[in-house]
Amino acid sequence: IQQAFVAPSILSADFAHLADEAAAVAGSDWLHVDVMDNHYVPNLTLGLPVVKSLKAATGIPLDCHLMIENPQRWAVGYAEAGAVNVSFHAETTDDPIAIAKDLRAAGSMAGLAIDRDTAVEPYLSLLSYFDTVLIMTIKAGFGGQAFMPELLAKVRTIRQAIDLDDLSIRLEVDGGINADTIQAAAEAGADTFVAGSAVFGAADPAEAVRRLRALAIG
Ligand code: DX5
Ligand code: ZN
């Protein structure tokens, strides 16, 4: 397992002060940016212009999580905007391999996101095209939902496949990650932990990141 990464999700931050919010978690490994289009999920957040501005405003590597339809149209733009990783949902495309290739060609990592109701087995043979796999531990769409421990079975399955083929893939969990749940996710094999409300809802967001990382390392 790779070194544990904590990625605060700005979905729980103050959107009118994103640069300040990023500065408040300056020690983070990645900054998680949830892009929602009100079609794939019933919520609307931000898009490319905001990501471009964020890129200029912070040195934290941007981890863009696209919860949008038609990712083949949009994903590469986020890579070109300088995101370190761009994850799109398996549920939103018939050709995940093509998007993954385009993302790598554009200079970012390619991420496959798997929502609550989607099985991982059909994607196991595609893993070598990806640099990250994001397993939702809630249903995608909103921050502040309760962690669903039963979804960790998918994390275990992906971890096994990564280790079996010695793949270099970050295994990310997203949804309901906090001080009470992060250790279970780490034990299941996750190495990258998205946390929104647990970080930006804390009195000291930087301290919350450090605490989560320490708990993940165990
Ligand atoms: C929800 C987003 C998450 C969200 C997590 O669809 O993908 O990144 O910000 O928020 P918490 O950590 O509060 O569950
Ligand atoms: Zn997310």
pLDDT digits (tens, 9 = 90+) for 71-110: 999 999 999 999 999 999 999 999 999 999 999 999 999 9
Determine if residue 168 is labeled as part of a ligand binding site. Answer: no
Residue 26: domain span: 5-217
pLDDT digits (tens, 9 = 90+) for 34-77: 999 999 999 999 999 999 999 999 999 999 999 999 999 999 99
Which residue, chain included where needed, has tokens 């995101």? 83
- Residue 33 β-bridge partners: 64
Ion ligand 2 neighbours (CB, 5 A) are: 34, 65, 174
Determine if residue 218 is labeled as part of a ligand binding site. Answer: no
Say whether 203 sits in a helix, a strand or coil: coil
**CATH of residue 18:** 3.20.20.70
| pLDDT at residue number 153 | 98
**Catalytic (active site) residue 34:** yes
pLDDT reading at 124 higher than 90: yes
Angle at 213 between CA 63 and CA 31, to 5 degrees: 20
Average the pLDDT over 130-146 and give the result. 98
| pLDDT at residue number 1 | 80
**Catalytic (active site) residue 94:** no
Residues 206, 25: contact at Cβ < 8 Å?
Answer: yes
pLDDT reading at 217 higher than 90: yes
Determine if residue 141 is labeled as part of a ligand binding site. Answer: yes
Say whether 69 sits in a helix, a strand or coil: coil
| pLDDT at residue number 207 | 98
ipTM over 0.90: yes
pLDDT reading at 2 higher than 90: no
pLDDT digits (tens, 9 = 90+) for 156-177: 999 999 999 999 999 999 999 9
Which one is catalytic: 37, 131, 174, 191? 174
Q: Which residues contact 105 (CB under 8 A, 6 or more apart)?
A: none
Number of domains in the chain: 1
Separation of 185 CA from ligand 1 center, angstroms?
A: 15
Separation of 67 CA from ligand 1 center, angstroms?
A: 11
Average the pLDDT over 185-212 and give the result. 98
- Ligand 1 atom closest to the Cα of residue 65 is 7
